[in-house]
Amino acid sequence: MDEPNIDWDSLHQEAVAVAANAYAPYSEFTVGAAGLTDRGHLVTGCNVENASYGITLCAECGLVSDLRRQGGGRLVAVCIVDGHGGHLAPCGRCRQLLYEHGGPSLLIHTDDDTLQLEELLPDPFGPGHLRGLGDGG
């Protein structure tokens, strides 16, 4: 795959660093996410658990909040790791969240490869569906 010049090592280091800030007193499973925007900004997020498990926030939620805090743009690359630096794939909810803010060509770094989000989330539901465009884009 032809991908833009992304410093995956730096994104990985940022994701590991932010995982240290996670709030995970129940699972003790810390997660960090770091991304690059189309404006060249770094965005990060970590998981924040809650005693009411259903409202726990994944690291990708924090990453998208940071994207919006910085004025928006589109995500072009994301690295998600556990507290030990092992790569993680986004959960289903977060795949949908990342699609909304990065689209099908968003690059996700894994242990073995770099994948486009459309490989992890085929036939997504997107903003276009709400406008009657059908393709979600």
Name the pairing type of β-strands 75-82 and 31-37.
antiparallel
Q: Any catalytic annotation for residue 119?
A: no
Strands of the sheet with 114-116, listed across from one edge: 42-46, 31-37, 75-82, 107-109, 114-116
Catalytic residue among 3, 60, 100, 118: 60
The residues carrying an active-site annotation are: 60
